[in-house]
Amino acid sequence: MARRQHTNNAAPQRTSARLKAKVDTHTEAPKESTPPSTIPQSIPRKKQKLSNSIVPQTDNERSALSKVRGRRGHLKLMTEMPLDILLEIFSYLQPMDLLHLARATKALRAILMQRSGAASVWKSAFSNAAQTPPSCPADLNLPQYANLLYGRHCQFCNSVYGTLVDWFNRIRTCSSCITSKYQSGTLNGDELVQNTELITNRWVVRIAGHYSAVFLKQDYDHNLQTLRSLSDTAALAFIADRKRLKAARSQHISACIRWESRLKRDHRDDLQKMRTNRREAIVGKLRELGYGIEVDWRQVRDLPGLNVSKPLTERVWENLRPDLIDILEAMREQRLHEDRSLVVAKHFGILRELVDKYTKKQPKPAVVPRAIDLALMEPFRSAVFNTEAKKESRVTELSKLEDHVQPLVASWQDSANEFLAGLLPSIKRSGKHKLGTSQLTLAAIFFRCHWCTEPISYPRVLVHNCLTKTRSRSNGDDDSGEEIEDEKLLALVPSYAGMPWNYDKEVTFDEEAWKCARSVIVACGEDPVTVTASQMDDKDRRVECLQCRTQTARGNRLVMKWRIAVLHEIEKHWEETSSKGWSLLGDDDVQKAKVQEAKNKSKWREGPERCVRCDFASSRPLWTSRHDQHCSERATYTPLDAAMKRPPYAVKI
C-alpha cells in the first residue's frame, strides 16, 4: 500500500514541450455553438496516396527495396524527443555527422539550422574535431563553414566528387567543374586585364597530376566589368579594397591549407594503422593454424584481404580463411620443394665431381654420360635424392659410390645403343635382318636432332649438346608412373645440370642423309652395309660432284671429302632428278685437291679443338691462343660433338 502511495505521489514524467504544443492546438475550448457534451476531435491525418511507381509491384523491385542498407524507420521518432536532450546528444558529434543529420530529414534540418538554439551544438562539434580547424570567417556561418571543410559535394554540380577547395572564394568543387567555372590567365594583356588578374584570386590547383593557375570566372568577370565602369580614381580605390581583401584572407587561407594537410596526414595514418592491425590479426590467426613458418618465409603483404583498411571481423575472417589456407598450402609445398632442392644440389655437386674425375681418366675423346644421367640410376638415385637422412651420412654414402661410376656408364651406353638401334631401318634388299647395335658405326648411319639441320653421326649423337639442353614437357595422361616420378626428381635438380640424354625422345633416323651417304660410299667403291665411318676417314678419298661440273675453258671441278659430299648432296641436289652422281678421283687429282685445300686453309675458320691435358677449348689453333699461359702441351683433339661441316671444305681443281 505504501509503495502504491509513493508511486502516485512521484513527480510526473517529463514530456516534450513540442508534443504538448501540438496536442494543445487540437484540444482548445469549443466554440459557443458547439454543445458542451461534444469532445474535441483532432484533425484526421490525410492518407498519403502512393503512386504505382513508388509501390513495388514486381519481385525485382521488392528485391531491390530489400537490399537498402541499414534499418529503415527506426529513427523516425528521434525528433519527438525533448529538444534539450536532443541537442545535448548532438553536441557530442563531429561536424561531418551534423552535416549528415541535417541532410537526413526536414525535421532534423530545421532543428540543426536554428541560429539561436543550434549554434552551441555546432561550436561543440568543431571543438570535438581531432584536428581543430581555423576559426570560422565572418562571411560564413558554422553550417556553411562545416560544409566547406568536411563536405564532399560540389557546390556547382552537386556531385559527390567535390574534393577540391578554393579557400579564397569559399567554394568546394570537383575537377570537372573547374574547366567550366574557372579560366586560365592571359600571358599578355592591356592594363585593365592585368589589374583584373591582380585583384582576382589566383588558385593553383592540381588536376590529373598537373598544376594549373586558374581564376573563378564569376569573380573575374565581376572585377573586369567593375573596373570598366569606374573612373580612374574609383578604380584605384576598388583595386586597393580588393588587395586588402586578399591580404586579409591570405592568412586564413594558409591556416586552412595547413589544417587540410594535417587532416589528410591523420587520415593516412589511421588507414595505415587499421591495415597494420588487420594484418597482425590475420597473421596471428594463421600462426594459430600452423602456418607460422610460411608467414615468416615469404612476404605476406600480397595475400588477399591483408591490405584492406577495415577492421577484421569473424565473418570476414571466415570468408578469407579458405583462400588463405589454399595459398599457404601452396607456399608450404614450394618451401619444402626449395629446401629439398638445396640438399639435392649439394648431393648433385658431389656426383659431378665423381663423374669429372672418371672422365679425366678416359682417353680423348670419350663417350661419357652427364651426371644427370647417372643421377637417375641406382645406387646414385637413392643417394642423390635422399633428403631425410643426416647430412654427414648422405655425403659419406655418396663418396663411397665412386666405384659404381664405370659400370653405370657402360650400362647407360648399352641402353642408348639399344634405343638408337631401334630407329635403324631394315635392309630391304636382302630382307633377312634388321640393322642392330653393331651397325651404328657404319658410315651411312645418320640421325636427326629436332633442333639441328645437319645430320648427326654415331657416336656424336650420344654427346650431342641439344639433347641435354631441352627442357622436358610432360605429356599428361600418356606419361607412365616411372616418367612422372622422374619428372618430380628432375624438378629438384639445379638448372645448370640440364636434362638426361634424349629425355624428350627427339632423336630420329635421318633417311635423307642415309640415302645420300650410300650414293657417296658406292661412288668411293665401298659397301655401305659394311664400311664404317672411321674406315672412310682413314682412306681419305676425294669425290667430284658431276652435277656441279662447269663447262668452262679452265674445266674447274668441284671435289670434296666424303662427309662434305653428303652435306653437299643434301643441301644442293636432294630435290634434283638428274642421274648424274659422284665420281671418284684418282691419285693425281687427290694430290691436286690436297694442295688446293692447303692454300685455302688460311681462309677457313678452324674447327673447335680441345687440349688433351687440360681440355681447354678454342676455335683457333691452341698455340696462338691464351692456352699457352697455363699449359705448355700442344696435343689436341676434336670433340665428338663438333659440327660435321668443318674444314677442309670443297675446292675446285
What's this model's pTM, rounded to 2 decimal places? 0.62
Summarize pLDDT for 188-231 with one digit per residue, the tens.
678 888 888 889 999 999 887 888 899 999 999 999 999 999 99
Strand 636-637's sheet: what is its strand order? 617-618, 609-611, 636-637
Could you list the beta-strand ranges (E) of 160-295.
Answer: 164-166, 171-173, 182-184, 203-207, 210-216
Summarize pLDDT for 435-479 with one digit per residue, the tens.
567 889 999 999 998 888 899 999 999 999 988 875 544 544 455
Q: Which helix or strand (DSSP H or E) is residue 449 part of? A: strand 447-449
Q: Give pLDDT, residue 473.
A: 47
CA distance 484 to 486: 5
Q: Give pLDDT, residue 556.
A: 80
- C-alpha cell at position 49: 496516396
Nearest to 648 by CA among 601, 603, 602, 590: 601
395: confidence class by pLDDT, cuts 50, 70, 90: confident
Q: What angle do CA 593, 598, 600 make, to 5 degrees?
A: 95
651 within 8 A of 559, measured Cβ to Cβ:
yes
332: confidence class by pLDDT, cuts 50, 70, 90: very high
Q: Give pLDDT, residue 512.
A: 92
Nearest to 347 by CA among 295, 382, 308, 315: 382
Q: Give pLDDT, residue 626.
A: 56
List C-alpha distances in Å: 296 to 283, 286, 327, 331. Answer: 10, 11, 14, 11
Give the pairing type, strands 651-652 and 558-560. Answer: antiparallel
Q: Report the percent of the chain where pLDDT is more than 70.
A: 79
SS3 call for 329 = helix
Q: What are phi and psi of 290, to 5 degrees?
A: 95, 20
Summarize pLDDT for 199-208 with one digit per residue, the tens.
999 999 988 7
Q: Give pLDDT, residue 482.
A: 73
Q: Report the percent of the chain where pLDDT is more than 90.
A: 50
Classify residue 159 as left (phi > 0), alpha (psi -120 to 50) or beta: beta
Domain boundaries, the chain: 74-151, 313-425+447-469+484-507
Nearest to 482 by CA among 341, 344, 378, 350: 378
CA distance 555 to 551: 6
b/e map of 397-418 (b: 16 or more CB within 10 Å)?
bbeebeebbeebbeebbeebbe
Summarize pLDDT for 2-22 with one digit per residue, the tens.
444 443 444 444 455 554 554
Q: Give pLDDT, residue 117.
A: 83
CA distance 112 to 146: 12
Is the per-residue pLDDT at 636 higher than 70?
A: yes
Is the per-residue pLDDT at 278 higher than 50?
A: yes
CA distance 161 to 479: 60
Summarize pLDDT for 618-629 with one digit per residue, the tens.
555 544 555 555
**Where is pLDDT greater, at 40 or 183?**
183
425: confidence class by pLDDT, cuts 50, 70, 90: confident
* Out of 123-137, 238-252, 262-276, 537-551, least confident range: 537-551
Summarize pLDDT for 144-159 with one digit per residue, the tens.
999 999 999 999 999 9
* Out of 167-171, 263-267, 504-508, 628-632, least confident range: 628-632
71: confidence class by pLDDT, cuts 50, 70, 90: low
Q: Which residues pair with 507 in a beta bridge?
A: 449
* Out of 421-430, 547-556, 597-606, least confident range: 547-556
Q: Give pLDDT, residue 469.
A: 78
Q: What angle do CA 227, 230, 233 make, to 5 degrees?
A: 105
Distance of CA 451 to the CA centre of its chain: 31
341: confidence class by pLDDT, cuts 50, 70, 90: very high
Q: Give pLDDT, residue 116.
A: 82
- C-alpha cell at position 198: 591582380
Residues in the chain: 653
Q: Name residues whose C-beta falls within 8 Å of residue 69's C-beta, 6 or more positions apart in sequence.
A: none
For the packed helices 191-199 and 217-229, what is the interaxial angle rounded to 10 degrees?
A: 130
CA distance 424 to 588: 38
How many CB atoms are located within 10 Å of the residue 134 CB? 17
Summarize pLDDT for 545-595 with one digit per residue, the tens.
988 875 444 568 899 999 999 999 998 887 776 667 899 999 999 999 999
47: confidence class by pLDDT, cuts 50, 70, 90: low
Q: Which helix or strand (DSSP H or E) is residue 407 part of? A: helix 405-421
Is the per-residue pLDDT at 523 higher than 70?
A: yes
CA distance 395 to 587: 62
Q: Give pLDDT, residue 212.
A: 87
Summarize pLDDT for 469-512 with one digit per residue, the tens.
755 445 444 556 677 888 888 888 988 888 999 988 889 999 99
Q: Which helix or strand (DSSP H or E) is residue 39 part of? A: none
Mean predicted confidence (pLDDT) in 101-117: 89
CA distance 394 to 562: 52
CA distance 360 to 363: 8
* Out of 30-34, 109-113, 326-330, least confident range: 30-34
